[in-house]
Amino acid sequence: MSPSERRSAIMDLLCDRRYETAKNLAALFGVTARTIRNDITALSCTYPIQTIRGRYGGIQVASWYHPYRQELSPQQEVLLRKLMVNLEGEDLTVMESILTKFARHTG
């Protein structure tokens, strides 16, 4: 894996998980923690990445950053809201989370 491919994979992972440690990333990609720190330095020039020092430190991407966020079409949203009327309990909670995450309009 080239450095460019690894950095792209790191960003994908951070956007999915939102937080990770350099140690875990190094183990995942089979490189040293120093290599990961270099990758993060390079990525932070372009992306909103923060590093947190200390015992519980790590690497996180800004909470507002969602590069691949997909949205439902208006027809999909209407259909899901119709189906939601018949849901209750955990199913209703899951449907609400889907609409919150992917719907263009709230309510």
Question: Could you read off the pLDDT tens digit of each residue along the chain, which spans 107 residues?
Answer: 899 999 999 998 998 888 999 999 999 999 999 999 999 999 999 999 999 888 878 999 988 887 766 778 888 888 999 999 999 999 999 988 888 877 765 54
Q: Which residues touch 95 (CB under 8 Å, ≥6 apart)?
A: 80, 83, 84, 87
* Residue 4 confidence (pLDDT): 93
* Orientation of helix 33-43 relative to helix 22-29, angle to 10°: 110
- Are the C-beta atoms of residues 65 and 46 closer than 8 Å to each other? no
CA distance linking residue 54 with residue 23, whole number of Å? 13
* Residue 16 confidence (pLDDT): 85
* Residue 68 confidence (pLDDT): 67
CA distance linking residue 35 with residue 75, whole number of Å? 46
CATH 1.10.10.10 in the chain, residues? 3-61
Residues in the chain: 107
Q: Which token pair is 75? A: 């027809």
Beta strands in the chain (DSSP E): 19-20, 49-52, 58-61
CATH of domain 3-61: 1.10.10.10
